[in-house]
Amino acid sequence: MATSNIVESARKEGRSALTEIEAKQLLKKIGIDTTDIKLARTKKEAVDCAKGFGFPVVLKIVSPDILHKSDVGGVKLNLNSATEVGKAYSEILASARKHKPKAKIDGVSVQPMARPGTEVIIGMTKDAQFAPVLMFGLGGILVEVLKDVSFRIVPLVKRDAREMIHEIKGYPVLEGYRGQEPANIEVLENLLLKVSDYVDKHPEIKELDINPIFAYKDGALAVDARVILES
């Protein structure tokens, strides 16, 4: 499916938010690696998907009305058996319904548990003149508390991508701080350029967030993704 079809099918349903499943399909289309992900509409489907991927897996709520899945108890990590998957499925649905009784719930997504890496984030928002701006930062506490992020206006050239990554204060973390696996900077640069190129050509995208991306020495994997369309 072309990225335009993913966007169109959401539009037809009157939605401005893509689900994580759709957002990851879109990222794959533009050449960004993501975790595999499947929608389960029943507990049995969730268990079957998990067995298909192999344990451990992650379960997450899938709802166009829930953008911050952890806030509603909608993410369960590191599930190691069919029993754990079944229990997580019920808990996620119960918790999401309790927090957001009016949300339309598609089901629960199943995805393999990704190998830990350095968490980074890439975001796109539009400035007051509606120009897309890319943000890069480290994930987790550093980005939330210290706002250690860099910005560039789209379209980026290679040099912009390079500078964005080098200018964050947490850059040494990417080089492999205290024995941690270093991140592949070139892979991250290319990721920024791919997002820049895509949003530059697709003004229908209002916001795009890949949060987090796990950065490794030999690649990077989008673990969560959110896309909002212009109305």
User: Which residues of this protein are in contact with ligand ADP, per CB under 6 A?
Assistant: 35, 58, 60, 68-70, 75, 77, 111, 113-114, 212, 223-224
Q: Decide whether 47 or 225 has the Cβ nearer to Mg ion.
A: 225
Residues with Cβ < 8 Å from 215, sequence gap 6 or more? 117, 118, 119, 120, 174, 183, 184, 187, 188
Residues with Cβ < 8 Å from 136, sequence gap 6 or more? 120, 121, 122, 149, 150, 164, 165, 168, 188, 192
Q: Decide whether 47 or 110 has the Cβ nearer to Mg ion.
A: 110
Q: Does 19 bind Mg ion (CB under 5 A)?
A: no
Query: Number of helices (H) and strands (E), helices first, in the chain?
Result: 8, 11
Interface residue with Mg ion, options 211, 213, 214, 222 (CB under 5 A): 211
| Shortest separation between residue 129's beta carbon and Mg ion, angstroms | 28
Q: Decide whether 196 or 211 has the Cβ nearer to Mg ion.
A: 211
Q: Which stretch binds Mg ion (CB under 5 A): 9-17, 26-34, 114-122, 206-214?
A: 206-214
Which residues contact Mg ion (rule: CB under 5 A)?
211, 224
